Structure 1
Amino acid sequence: MRIGLLGTGPWAEMAYAPALQAHGGLDFVGVWGRRAEAARSLADRHDTRAYEDVDALLTEVDAVAIALPPAVQAPLAVRAARAGRHLLLDKPLATSVEDGRAVVEAAREAGVASVVFFTARFQTAVEAWIGEQAAADGWFTGRAEWLGSVFSSDSPFAASPWRREKGALWDVGPHALSVLLPTLGEVERVAAAARGPKDTVHLVLGHSGGASSTLTLSLTAPPEAAGATVELRGKSGVAVLPTSAEGAVEALTRAADGLLDAARTGRPHPCDAAFALRVTELLVEAEEILDN
Structure 2
Amino acid sequence: MRIGLLGTGPWAEMAYAPALSAHTELDFAGVWGRRPEAAKALADRHGGLPVYEDVDALFADVDAVAVALPPSVQAPLAVRAARAGCHLLLDKPLATDVAEGRAVVEAVERAQVASVVFFTARFQTAIEAWITEQADTGGWFTGRAEWLGSLFDGDSDSPFAASPWRREKGALWDVGPHALSVLLPVLGDVEEVTAVRGAKDTVHLVLAHTGGASSTVTLSLSAPPAASGATAEFRGRAGATVLPSSDEDGVVPALVRAGDALLAAARGGRPHPCDAAFGLRVTEVLAAAEGQLAP
Same fold, TM-score > 0.5, yes or no = yes
Q: Provide the rounded CA distance (Å) in 1 between the counterparts of 2:36 and 2:201.
A: 33
Q: Provide the rounded CA distance (Å) in 1 between the counterparts of 2:138 and 2:158.
A: 40
**Residue number in structure 1 paired with 2:242:** 240
Q: Provide the rounded CA distance (Å) in 1 between the counterparts of 2:282 and 2:186.
A: 14
Give the number of aligned pairs.
291
The one-letter code matched in structure 2 to 1:37 is: E
Q: Provide the rounded CA distance (Å) in 2 between the counterparts of 1:49 and 1:159.
A: 29
Q: Provide the rounded CA distance (Å) in 1 between the counterparts of 2:223 and 2:247.
A: 22
Identity of aligned residues (%): 77
Q: Which runs of 4+ in 1 moved over 3 A?
A: none
Residues 99-114 of structure 1 mapped to structure 2, 5 A cutoff: 99-114=100-115
TM-score, length-scaled by structure 1: 0.99
* Per-residue deviation, residues 59-114 of structure 1 (Å, max 9, x unmatched): 11000000000000000000000000000000000011100000000000000000
Q: Provide the rounded CA distance (Å) in 2 between the counterparts of 1:137 and 1:214.
A: 18
**Residue number in structure 1 paired with 2:228:** 226
Q: Is the 8 A contact 2:138 2:186 kept in 1?
A: no
RMSD: 0.6
* Per-residue deviation, residues 118-167 of structure 1 (Å, max 9, x unmatched): 00000000000000000112101111000011111111100100000000
Q: Provide the rounded CA distance (Å) in 1 between the counterparts of 2:52 and 2:150.
A: 34
**Residue number in structure 2 paired with 1:266:** 269
Which of 278, 284, 288 is the aligned partner of 1:275? 278
* Per-residue deviation, residues 165-221 of structure 1 (Å, max 9, x unmatched): 00000000000000000011111110x211111100000000011110000000111
* Per-residue deviation, residues 19-76 of structure 1 (Å, max 9, x unmatched): 0011000100010000010000000001112111111111110000000000000000
**Residue number in structure 1 paired with 2:29:** 29
Q: Provide the rounded CA distance (Å) in 1 between the counterparts of 2:72 and 2:3.
A: 22
1:204 paired to 2:199: no
Long gaps (5+) in structure 2: none
Residues 44-123 of structure 1 mapped to structure 2, 5 A cutoff: 44-47=44-47, 48-123=49-124
**Residue number in structure 1 paired with 2:40:** 40
The one-letter code matched in structure 2 to 1:87 is: L
Q: Provide the rounded CA distance (Å) in 2 between the counterparts of 1:105 and 1:59.
A: 20
Other structure's SS at 1:95 match: coil
Other structure's SS at 2:79 match: helix
Which of 285, 288, 291 is the aligned partner of 2:288? 285
Other structure's SS at 2:61 match: coil
Deviation at 1:285, TM superposition (A): 0.1
TM-score, length-scaled by structure 2: 0.98
**Residue number in structure 1 paired with 2:150:** 149
Other structure's SS at 2:85 match: coil
